[in-house]
Amino acid sequence: MTDHASLPYRLNVGAVLFSPDGRVFVGKRIGVPDAWQLPQGGIDAGEDPREAVLRELEEEVGTGKAEIMGEHPGWLRYDLPPALLGVAWGGKYRGQKQKWYALRFTGRDEDIRLDAHAHPEFEDWKWVNLADLPALAVAFKREIYATLARDFAVYAK
């Protein structure tokens, strides 16, 4: 039996993609009812987090039309709920340690292509108010989304 508290966190980046009018992109996870989330993904070995966030944005949202405006000063963590421990990421991690970035979307809505890659993660997307993020998040990510809504509010103006 694995002691989950001894498992490491998976290194990850996250993107808060701001539209020109200050709203943020959220994607609806494929096959998970009512699961809206921000784009995020793992950092490859030796990869710089700033490069990783742009790569993940292109993979998950299908566009590279974005500029980094800022980043959260620290790493944010979440633990997986008990039902996902031992299941997600092959049971190798207890949760994720994330570096979050605020990005400005420089394209048009038509530039967002959820089907741009062979293994899409989102089935739908929308722009939402930054303050609405915590209410849209799954419970175990809600605290991080509340932190981002507070700390990235300057970019929504």
Burial 89-102 (b: 16+ CB within 10 A, else e): eeeebbbbbbbbbb
Which residues on adjacent β-strands are paired with residue 101? Answer: 15, 71
Residue 87: pLDDT above 80? no
Give the number of other Cβ atoms within 10 Å of residue 31's Cβ: 8
Could you state, in order of their start, the residue ranges of all structural domains in the chain?
Answer: 4-156
The domain covering 4-156 belongs, at the CATH homologous superfamily level, to Nucleoside Triphosphate Pyrophosphohydrolase (3.90.79.10)
Residues 66 and 104: beta-carbon distance below 8 Å: yes
Separation of CA 116 from chain center: 18
Residue 122: pLDDT above 60? yes
Single pTM value for the model: 0.93
In tens, the pLDDT along 65-79 reads 999 999 999 999 998
Average pLDDT across the chain, whole number: 92
